[in-house]
Structure 1
Amino acid sequence: MSLQPNSHLLRRGRYSESGRAYLVTAVVHQRLPLFRDFRLGRLLVTEFKRAHETGRVNSLAWVVMPDHFHWLFNLNDSTLAEVMRATKSRSTLSINRARCSRERFWQRGYHDRAVRAEEDIRKMARYIIANPLRAGLVEHIGDYSLWDAA
């Protein structure tokens, strides 16, 4: 039995538009809180930075929570599928290497939402980086180290 019986529906109607902002969320397999280990979280952050530095995306904000991440970016000269495939694949390799594991790391698929022109990107970024506060992980965002915003 699949843990996400409707994950294939996440791909239905997905469209990538260069220059558009997207908010994506991906979840660790079985929602294991593996990013409580700061070192593993930093390996994921390396992949966010790689996507930014290679010009695939322009990162606007991201937060790595214990069992998932939220990432807001402008899509450049790649498709959403290419960015997410590379990020999830490369992070799986580096994180599993660090864990001495060969297990599946991410749940299948990811959730994405194209940001509409009338939406306030700054407000959305603030909402993303406030996740650790709302989750009760810290009292001040400065006390949480796995986030960034442009």
Structure 2
Amino acid sequence: MLTTVVQGRRRLFEQPHNAEIVIDALRHVERSGRSYSLAWVIMPDHVHWLMELRQGTLPSCMNVFKSISSRKLQAGQVWQNGYHDHAIRRDESVEHAARYIIGNPLRAGLAQRVGEYPYAWCRWEIM
């Protein structure tokens, strides 16, 4: 489970076009074979991404994601350096992590129910 934050916590992803660019970058990383996405949410100033690393290293995967999205956003330095990662352990639930990610827009007051926020996706149907 990964979290990466916009430099200065600018709310870049309130603009739909910018959120779509980030979604395209996540999908590019998956199509390249580096990751297998399980859930993600593009919040106004950060991204949560639950994924399985398939190829390469986590730093190289995140570098590709940040590089592609930054170039397309053309907004100066887009991302803060680094990212927060949390490996899901055997005693933790991948589904619980997905629920947490998909629930972010509700906790932030950006949606009233799961499925309503346009910049969230999950491999499973989560209610």
User: Structure 2: which 5+ residue stretches go unaligned?
Assistant: none
More displaced, 112-121 or 83-92? 112-121
Q: Does 1:114 align with 2:87?
A: yes
Specify which of 20, 42, 45 is matched with residue 23 of structure 2: 45
Who is 1:72 aligned against?
50
Identity level (%):
41
Specify which of 97, 110, 118 is matched with residue 145 of structure 1: 118
Cα deviation, residue 48, structure 1: 0.7
Who is 1:9 aligned against?
none
Within 2, Cα distance between the matches of 1:52 and 1:148?
A: 14
Cα deviation, residue 149, structure 1: 0.8
Q: SS state of the match for residue 35, structure 1?
A: helix
Within 2, Cα distance between the matches of 1:147 and 1:60?
A: 11
Cα deviation, residue 118, structure 1: 1.9
More displaced, 107-116 or 139-148? 139-148
| TM-score, normalised by the number of residues in structure 2 | 0.93
| TM-score, normalised by the number of residues in structure 1 | 0.79
Within 1, Cα distance between the matches of 2:99 and 2:108?
A: 14
Cα deviation, residue 141, structure 1: 2.6
User: Structure 1: which 5+ residue stretches go unaligned?
Assistant: 1-22
Who is 1:86 aligned against?
64
Map Cα deviations across residues 103-149 of structure 1 (whole Å, 9 max, x no partner): 11111111111111221111110110110000011112332100111
- Whichever residue aligns with residue 61 of structure 2, its letter is V
Could you say which structure has the larger radius of gyration? Answer: 1
Within 1, Cα distance between the matches of 2:26 and 2:4?
A: 13
Who is 1:129 aligned against?
102
The number of residues matched between the two structures is 123
Map Cα deviations across residues 67-124 of structure 1 (whole Å, 9 max, x no partner): 000000011111000110000011000011xxxx4x1111111111111122111111
Provide the alpha-carbon RMSD of the alignment. 0.9
TM superposition outliers: structure 1 runs of 4+ over 3 Å: none
Q: SS state of the match for residue 80, structure 2?
A: coil
